[in-house]
Each structure stands twice: as structure tokens, then as C-alpha cells.
Structure 1
């Protein structure tokens, strides 16, 4: 699923209609003096991690509290579907966490309620972070979040026992979505198993070289003959069942047809973290997987959809203490430890120099995924739309594409409607 990533977080977008957050405080609580050690509780939030990574996080909390015996860390883990609404409610009430896990896609809409971090994270504190991951978290010259983890370069996952019946060669996997759709159609024709869940959404349009926004970011730019042709290509595959019928589901975390339930043959571009779900929920399928390089953008590169980051709300009374905990939580050693649990990619340069990445070997899907990720890093592009409504705009376009695939609109009508919704939102 090209739209799904542990790094992206799948937030409840419909509750936001503007780029500002109601109840935002314009006052910033004063940070404690440098010579006054903090004593008290720091509350921090993560998104959908407690179920699988509780031991890792509680271990870090225990270590930090041991090193700072007068500090208590309160961890709150928020389900992905509730993270935006919960943070919105917290900001409106003034009862905010001190450090909050946000996705880069949602950062823009929360900026009015976040504290600029430049006073807490200087050049030395940011030195180990990859600059191309830090820079997109700056708005109007101010740093509003610190990068944590991301999906790294994408990977492709194929069920060998299924795709082999359609002539798949793991030494020459599809290099474009056009080739992937052709394989998907052939897979269904030969096996009656749906090929893939990929649809012509905002992500795949970018892979096809279709620009989404005008250069000034004030108008939609995707309503073009090129985009029309892309949509028509995906519709043909959808009608042939190469694309699974459930691919139009709005809940990308719970698709009806998946690798885990045996109703899908492959994912041409995926976050490697999805391997963990397959390994846990369908070990037989995991053993059947071959991991390869994913499809590429028309530029020959890969697109990083989002990254997870930490921010500090303006209304926090413990900003300096929150910043100190974020520095510890996101340091290179702790990010590397997280990467050893789940196939994600760190935002710290030092982590990538560990043998875990540089000497990854073997044919286990996760080991292969690490090799693919490291090899693909030079080709990784992280270029968000850059508006304060990125997630909202993406969903507008995806809704219209789903309507087109279902047959309730023509491709022209879908693109026209999406263009109008974008322009209205950006006006």
C-alpha cells in the first residue's frame, strides 16, 4: 500500500477545516533557568506504539528517570486514528503534553500552537540529525519539530508462490507503477488473487511525474492530460481486478485484501515496517516473501511520504525539561536500538554508520529490506507539499480518485472536483 506507513500515522483529518488550531495560546511559559534543575513530571505522547514497542519505550523512560531521579516521565500512547483529535482537544483545553509525537504531514496545521525550538536545539544539538530531514520541519525560518524515525527508502514485497505463476523474476522486478500494474493484471488472470492495493492517489501521481501544486503553492496543478491518462490506466487495472476491490478503502491500515490474509500478491512500494505486521500476523506469508527494490519515480528516485517528529506545545509549562527528554529519546544510540526492533530508518547520521546497517546480510525479508533501504537512501526525496493543509489536500484528491474508480464519476469529473476543492482550501 503506497499510502500506508508507520511513519505517516493515518490521522483523523476530517475535523480540521482550517490551518489554525482553536484555543491556541499566544503565551509561552518561561523555561527554567539553566542553574535550576527541573523537578516534576514531563508528559510525552507517541502514536500507536504501545502495543508492539512498550518494552523499548518503557526501558528508555526507566533509563532517563534513573539518570534524572527528580524527573518523572508520563507516557501517553494515542491510537493513530485519534492522535489529531486528541491533540486538538488538548490544545483547546490548555492541558497539553510537554512533548508530542507529530507526523510531518500534520505539522503545518499545528504550528500556531507549537513552540519554536531554536532556543532549545542549537547547531550542536542538531549536528547528528540528517539536514534533509530537519529542514522540512522549519516554517518561516523557525524550527517547530525535531525528526525522529521514518520509513527510509521504500521496498517492494512479493509473494513468491503467487507472482511466480505470472512469470515474475525477482532479479528484474517492476521498476515503474506501469510495470507493476501490468504484473498485477497478469497475476489475477493466472491465479485469481488480486495483484496490488495501489491506486492513482496523490502519491502515485507524484511517482508519475505529475506536479500537484503550482510553484507559489496557491493552486492545484494536477488537472492535466498526463494525470488523466494515469487515472485511466489505474481504472483499467481496477476493473480487471489487478488492483484489489478494497483498494478504495479510506482506512488504509485495514484494507480488505492484504498480504497477511492471503488475498494480495504484492506491494510495489511499501514502508518496510509492514514486514513486521506480516511476520507477526502471517508467518507463512512472511516466509514466502521476496523483498526487492521498489518502483521508482519518473526522476529515478524514491519518495519519502512523511516522517515522525517531536514537538513542544506552547502551552507546556515544562518546555526546557521536555526538550532535554526529546534530546535523549531521539539520540543516535536510542534510534539505532529502535531500528533493530522494526525496519524503520533513523534521522540520526551516527545510527546509519553502525554495522547493523552497513553490514546487513542474509535472505531473511527484514535483512534484505535493510539492504534495500541503505542502497536507496541516496535516491530518497522528502518533499512535502509544504502547505498547512497537506494531509487535508491529499485526502480531497484521494476521495475523488476513489469515486472515479467506483464508477460514480469520470476521470475528468474527479480531477475537476479535486482541483476545485484544493483551490478552495488554498484560497
Structure 2
């Protein structure tokens, strides 16, 4: 009996000496877009498969997210374990050694399945530094019923002249319907994403080959004048406060004839649970001016790990889960194939279930494939990036210029004054940073 009691006490002492399963809490910073909100709702699937890891979400509006994440990583603040960043930040931050290379992803992750343009944008020297959660270009989403009522047929690749004419004819302000909704909220990734892509199609560019700013050129004046006049005639009131989410809400409420924005919005505007006009939406390439460039961009909201993180293994497990083929199948099982995160994997666009469910699939992949970050403009430029110039200074420059252009849209300043202010502020910064001698 003594032996049994002694053995039991020894076993109890041994168990007490073994530490409980350590629990790791990952803090994930992300943007308040619909696909990310959906991911949060599915976190229990990841935690069920990884009981030693808990996920804490910090969800922020786009401009705020960018500011907080940039500050945290630049100061090595350690506030976040997983960052939601884009194709702009990844190569710049990787070269500064601010990100951990994702070189321990499991074999079944299938890195080679990632769309080449998206993978290249998130890699440096052949190493992947962020995994794409969803990829996008931009395109026109339009109301087929209003287009028909206006007596027009949307081409697959329309000109700006067609879009301007259609927007005016589709506007019915008495019934709170506006021909076109475009980003007006200031921010390098908000209004300047749209306006920079638009300017490319007008033959404009941020800098010439010697890094001299180009806002004092006829091409930029044509771009900004066209945008401001179009929004005054056919846009909703208060447009200078509208970003992606605000325009999505307007379109889904039936208040926009056309919306030129991220291809990722297609699953939301065609979802009858969210959109009043879900069965009346068509798609076309972003407009052109006949100069060989469409007004579409290339982007991927992606998940990355900040260098110096103490939770790299757990963070990489989470990223592998959230950007995997398995996650896509999980969303499809819960929400239907049309609502899976788009624009990241070749296999998705070879999946007959997806292409049948998602009427926008072909236009999305065509838009992504037509964007060319290495040659984004009609005239030569010293930078890469379609809706941004991939230099560290652009984040600040784009925000400053975005504020000036948003003020022109609101009527607080003129187009000429906004362009002059943009030219002066960008020239000053480029001299200070040593680009212009």
C-alpha cells in the first residue's frame, strides 16, 4: 500500500513539475475591409487546429493602419506579431531588414501556385517576405439597368470619354443616384491610389527620369481637371470624404451608376445579402485615353512578420493558415465560392466552381495581368509601382499631395493651386532626400 501511495505521489509530483502547454497570443494588425472582417469570424478554425495559439485582432481604418504599422516597425515597437501590409511596403521594408522571410511555409502551402505578378511584388532576391491574403487590380463596376436606361452599352475596355458621357447620363440627383463614385478621401493609398492610376492613363507621371516632379505638366492638369469636373457633375455630395468603404456602401445602396475601384469589391457588390443591386452589376476594364495604359493598379493586402518578433513560428503558422488553399475552401464552404479572397492563386482561376460562381473572375484576372509595375507610365520613369512610386518617401509625399487634391475636390482650393502646391512640396522633399542634386 505504501508503495502505491508513494508511486501516486511521485506521479503527481512529476506532473506538477511539467509546465502547462504554453499559450502564445498573436496580435494581428489588419484593415477594416470585408475580407479581413470575414477572416476574424473564422479565427476559431485556426485556434482549433493550434490550441496553443490565441489570436488578438487590432482592426483599423486604412490610413490609420498604415500610420500605426509603419511607426511600430520603424521604431521596433513590437506592438504587432503579424502585419497587414501591401506591395508598396514589402520590398522597401525587406531591404531595411524589417521583415522576416517566409521560408518555412509547409510544403502543402504551394508557393509556386501564387500568381507570378503578386509573388514577384512580395519578394526580394527570390525570397517571399509576405503572403498575399488577397490580390487586386481596379476595374469599373457599373449598374447594367442604368446603363441600359441611358441607351448605352459598356465596352469591355472603355475610354474616359465614354465613362464621362455615361456618368452624366446616368445621374439622377433628384432620386439620389449619381453617375459615378470615385475615391476622394486624402491618403497615399486612398485618393492617390486612384488618381495616380488615372494619371498613368492620361500620360502623366510623378517624376521624370531625373526625379523631377511633374505636377506642372499638361497631363497632370488634364487628369485633375477631368476628375474634379466629373465628380462635381456626376458624383455624390461630400465625395472628398469618401474612400473604399464609403463608396462600397453607396454602390450597394443603389446610389452609384459606376464605381472605379478595387476588383476585390466585386464579391460584395454582387452579394444579395449586402447589395440592393446585386443582380444588376456589370464589369469592365478601368478606362483609357487611347495611350496604351488603363487606369488600373496592382495591389495585394498581405500578411508579414516584423523582424525581431519573439513569436515567429506561431506567426508563420497563422499566415500559412490565412493565405492557404485550405482557407479558400473554408470560406467557400461557409460563404460560397464567389466570396473567397481573390487574386492570389493560379489554381483559383482554374477552378470551374469559382469561375462559374464569380461572374467577375475573368475581368479581375485580366485587370491584374494588364497592370505593369515595371512600366507603369506612357513616358519613361525611374520608379516601379503602378499607383505609387516604390520609394520610402512616397508614403509621406502621397499623403501630402492627396490632401491638396482632396481640397481641390471639395472646392477649398482650385485645381491650379493644388497642382502648384503639389509640385512645390514634392520638389522640396526630393531635394531634401537627395534625389535631385
Asked if TM exceeds 0.5, the reply is yes
Check conservation: 2:85, 2:301, Cα contact below 8 A.
Answer: yes
Check conservation: 2:24, 2:314, Cα contact below 8 A.
Answer: no
Check conservation: 1:213, 1:220, Cα contact below 8 A.
Answer: yes
| 2:199 corresponding residue in structure 1 | 205
| 2:376 corresponding residue in structure 1 | none
User: Which protein has the bigger helix share?
Assistant: 2
Q: Distance in 2 between matches of 1:251 and 1:268?
A: 12
Q: Distance in 2 between matches of 1:268 and 1:84?
A: 22
- Structure with the bigger RCO (C-alpha within 8 Å, sep 6+) is 1
Q: Distance in 2 between matches of 1:329 and 1:95?
A: 21
Aligned residues, how many? 375
Q: Indicate the larger mover: 416-425 or 242-251.
A: 242-251
| 1:308 corresponding residue in structure 2 | 301
1:232 aligns with 2:250: no
| 1:286 corresponding residue in structure 2 | 278
The alpha carbon displacement at 1:370 in A equals: 1.6
What secondary structure, in the 3-state scheme, does the structure 2 residue paired with 1:381 have?
coil
The equivalent position to 1:165 in structure 2, one of 128, 149, 152, is 149
Q: Distance in 1 between matches of 2:105 and 2:215?
A: 38
Q: Distance in 2 between matches of 1:130 and 1:58?
A: 28
The alpha carbon displacement at 1:184 in A equals: 0.8
Check conservation: 2:84, 2:304, Cα contact below 8 A.
Answer: yes
1:179 aligns with 2:183: no
Q: Distance in 2 between matches of 1:325 and 1:257?
A: 30
Q: Distance in 2 between matches of 1:189 and 1:277?
A: 20
The alpha carbon displacement at 1:198 in A equals: 2.9
| 1:352 corresponding residue in structure 2 | 349
The equivalent position to 1:76 in structure 2, one of 57, 66, 79, is 57
Check conservation: 1:43, 1:73, Cα contact below 8 A.
Answer: yes
Q: Distance in 2 between matches of 1:98 and 1:158?
A: 39
Q: TM-score under structure 1 normalisation?
A: 0.73
| 2:409 corresponding residue in structure 1 | 405
Check conservation: 1:114, 1:311, Cα contact below 8 A.
Answer: no
Q: Give unpaired runs (5+ residues) of structure 1.
A: 1-37
Give per-residue Cα distances to partners, 1:234-258, cap 9 Å, x unaligned: 333334x223333222544225982
| 1:54 corresponding residue in structure 2 | 40
Q: TM-score under structure 2 normalisation?
A: 0.72
CA 1:230–1:375 in 2, change beyond 3 Å: closer, same or farther?
Answer: closer
| 2:82 corresponding residue in structure 1 | 99
Check conservation: 1:155, 1:271, Cα contact below 8 A.
Answer: yes
Check conservation: 2:47, 2:54, Cα contact below 8 A.
Answer: yes
The equivalent position to 2:129 in structure 1, one of 145, 170, 175, is 145
Q: Give unpaired runs (5+ residues) of structure 2.
A: 1-20, 184-193, 374-384
Q: Distance in 2 between matches of 1:401 and 1:90?
A: 28
Check conservation: 1:151, 1:272, Cα contact below 8 A.
Answer: yes
**C-alpha RMSD over aligned residues:** 3.7
Give per-residue Cα distances to partners, 1:165-216, cap 9 Å, x unaligned: 321214x366123321121112227976321123772231123231123346
Q: Distance in 1 between matches of 2:330 and 2:393?
A: 33
Q: Distance in 1 between matches of 2:121 and 2:266?
A: 25
| 1:14 corresponding residue in structure 2 | none
Q: Distance in 1 between matches of 2:301 and 2:249?
A: 27
Q: Distance in 1 between matches of 2:426 and 2:105?
A: 35
CA 1:56–1:412 in 2, change beyond 3 Å: closer, same or farther?
Answer: same
The alpha carbon displacement at 1:227 in A equals: 1.6
